[in-house]
Amino acid sequence: MIDLKDKRITVTGGKGFLGRALRDNLERGRHCRRVASADLPEYDLRTAAGIDRMYADQKPEIVIHLAALVGGIGANQASPGRFFYENAIMGIHLLHEAFRNQVEKFVALGTICCYPKLTPVPFREENLWDGYPEETNAPYGLAKKMLLVQSQAYRRQYGFHSIFLMPVNLYGPGDNFDPGSSHVIPALIRKFLEAREEGRDQVVVWGTGKASREFLFVEDAAEGIALACERYDKEDPVNLGAGFEITIRDLAERIAELVGYTGSIVWDASRPDGQPRRRLDVSRAKAEFGFVARTGFESGLRRTIDWYRGAEKR
């Protein structure tokens, strides 16, 4: 058990979607006094110079690595090389320099995209190496997965305290609603709200709608990360999720109803569905550090929609 209150904590990507929620959890929820962010443009963590300067400036005792190049299926398909390189280079160099700077603990955030395409449902951590990831986001998933390999290798050779967490798809207030790079929930919220406001009678959605996904509210994810940082110190990877799944078709219909869109939904089957199913076994997180997601899905959706409506008016 680590008392985080007086630790020097650096959150990479601390000004991003998950980073803001985590900093709020640490600073307000846990009253941590020394939490710093490492973000562009001040620190370019894709470069050795940016990483070295961050460690020299902030002298962290704990590093929580959230920074990543992320996006939906379209963005991953358009830039697979960039998604692989930027995520791999950030993680590998950050963890290595954490070891060299004698950081007390390194918390690495992976992704559900690390899992094989046809992983049996629910996804269990022991299934992680049973196949190749889903093709549309494999470069991203494999880049993040290398952090697990590095984390385990440094623990075994050097006794370095590093852990690896795999959150499922996140959503919530402050999410990315840019149509060029957003994930499915913010993309659908924006599509349906704009269609309603413009009086359009149909909305086109990628895929067949048959694929399923699991979603974790961003504030719950932040709590899970903080709990793991405090209480977990093993080499085994850990899922962070809510333990449920919903088809994209049902998700779209639910969001349309919540925003008041009454037109038709047209499914573009020429576009990829991505991984066929996603649902995590979340028992390890509960057993190891007491994490259970608390936010009901409909409540989380309503809060996300309300936030976006407010952001549009600002």
Is the pLDDT at 311 greater than 80? The verdict is no
Predicted TM-score (pTM) of the model is: 0.94
Q: Can you give the pLDDT at residue 314?
A: 59
**Strand bridging mode 162-167 / 169-171:** unpaired
Average pLDDT, integer, range 133-151: 95
Say how far apart CA 87 and CA 15 lie, in whole Å: 17
Structural domain includes residue 269: no
Structural domain includes residue 258: no
Average pLDDT, integer, range 187-216: 94
Average pLDDT, integer, range 90-97: 98
Average pLDDT, integer, range 188-197: 95
Structural domain includes residue 167: yes
Structural domain includes residue 241: yes
Is the pLDDT at 179 greater than 90? The verdict is no
Average pLDDT, integer, range 145-165: 98
Using a pLDDT cut of 70, give the percent of the chain over it: 99
Say how far apart CA 291 and CA 227 lie, in whole Å: 7
Q: Can you give the pLDDT at residue 313?
A: 63
Is the pLDDT at 172 greater than 90? The verdict is yes
Say how far apart CA 174 and CA 123 lie, in whole Å: 28
- 3 pLDDT band, cuts 50/70/90, is very high
- 158 pLDDT band, cuts 50/70/90, is very high
Q: Which of 138, 136, 292, 151 lies closest to 207 in space, CA to CA?
A: 136
Structural domain includes residue 100: yes
Structural domain includes residue 147: yes
Average pLDDT, integer, range 116-132: 95
Query: 135 lies in which domain range?
Result: 8-173+214-245+279-296
Structural domain includes residue 121: yes
Q: Can you give the pLDDT at residue 23?
A: 98
- 72 pLDDT band, cuts 50/70/90, is confident
- 73 pLDDT band, cuts 50/70/90, is confident
Structural domain includes residue 190: no
Average pLDDT, integer, range 182-200: 94
Q: Can you give the pLDDT at residue 275?
A: 84
Using a pLDDT cut of 90, give the percent of the chain over it: 89
DSSP string, 46-65: TSHHHHHHHHHHH--SEEEE
Say how far apart CA 291 and CA 221 lie, in whole Å: 9
| Residue 38 structure tokens | 């490492």
**pLDDT tens digits for 28-71?**
999 999 999 999 999 999 999 999 999 999 999 999 999 999 88
Domain containing residue 99: CATH number: 3.40.50.720
55, 140, 232, 308: the catalytic one is: 140
Q: Can you give the pLDDT at residue 140?
A: 94
Please indicate whether residue 132 is annotated as part of the active site.
Answer: no
Domains identified in the chain, total number: 1
Give 95's contacts (C-beta < 8 A, 6+ positions apart): 65, 106, 108, 147, 150, 151, 154, 162
Q: Can you give the pLDDT at residue 274?
A: 83
